[in-house]
Amino acid sequence: MRPGIAALPAIVAAAIAGAAAPARADDDKPELQRMRFVERGDDLTVAITPPGGIGKLFDAAAYEALGTGIESTVVIRIQITPQDSDEPVAEQLIQRSVVYDVWDEVYRLQLDELGGQKKFQVKYRAEALKWLSAIEDLPVARLAVLPVGKVFVLKMVVELNPVSRETLAKVRRWLSQGNGGGLDRGGAFFGSFVSVFYNPKIADADRVLRIRSQPFYRERS
């Protein structure tokens, strides 16, 4: 399925009034982005629409690099925590990569996320970027771990081209542990999440984004 989702059933997580405006680029704080949370089956899904999202991970140089034939990799770590805590109730890990095939003149993508691994190709660089950066209808938590009425925040650390072999090895191990456990499994790979979320200088990657959602809660039906 291509990026872009159809209208879904009623929104089940409401933004709390008075959320602050998005952080300025020169703020050394995680950026606040307004997200849409929707119940879908047993899961909570999230979507971020422009001007929000993770597309700003790619500046002009990073975008041009997509066409060089050298692989670009995006690693997305997500935690959902109570509003007043850094203790996660759910965690998710996603890895997306692309390499330009200079002989066939196509972009070959690999997406590793909940539901398994997908490999496919697209013709245009802009389309490859869209696949790398789309946050649409993404499962992020089991509803069972989100009590109705309790206030939560989604936190996200996004890295472009992590340079640490150890980090990439941890990503591969985490993703290989099974498709269904990612929503609430946790593990050693997330041990550094809080440190990087509050101090981007700790991250070892070409670029890092730190994003948090507005506070949200599940409404009573």
Q: Residues 104-129: pLDDT tens digits?
A: 999 999 998 877 889 999 999 999 99
Q: Residues 122-144: what's their mean pLDDT?
A: 94
Query: Is 154 in contact with 212 (CB distance < 8 Å)?
Result: yes
Confidence check: pLDDT of 24 > 70:
no
Nearest to 115 by CA among 45, 36, 212: 45
Confidence check: pLDDT of 188 > 60:
no
93 token code pair: 């890990």
Cβ atoms within 10 Å, residue 22: 14
Q: Residue 186: left if φ>0, alpha if ψ -120 to 50, beta else—which one?
A: left
Lowest model confidence (mean pLDDT) among 86-90, 119-123, 160-164 = 160-164
Confidence check: pLDDT of 151 > 90:
yes
Please state, in angstroms and rounded to a whole number, the distance separating the CA atoms of residues 92 and 79.
7
pTM above 0.95, yes or no: no
Confidence check: pLDDT of 26 > 80:
no
Average pLDDT, the chain: 78
Q: Residues 6-31: what's their mean pLDDT?
A: 44
Q: Choose between 188 and 87: higher pLDDT.
A: 87
Q: Which stretch of DSSP H or E encloses residue 195?
A: helix 193-198
pLDDT at 19: 36
Lowest model confidence (mean pLDDT) among 73-77, 161-165, 201-205 = 201-205
Query: Is 131 in contact with 109 (CB distance < 8 Å)?
Result: yes
Lowest model confidence (mean pLDDT) among 81-85, 134-138, 190-194 = 190-194
Percent of the chain with pLDDT over 90: 54
DSSP 53-110: SSGGG--HHHHHHTTSSS-EEEEEEEEEEETT----SEEEEEEEEEEEETTTTEEEEE
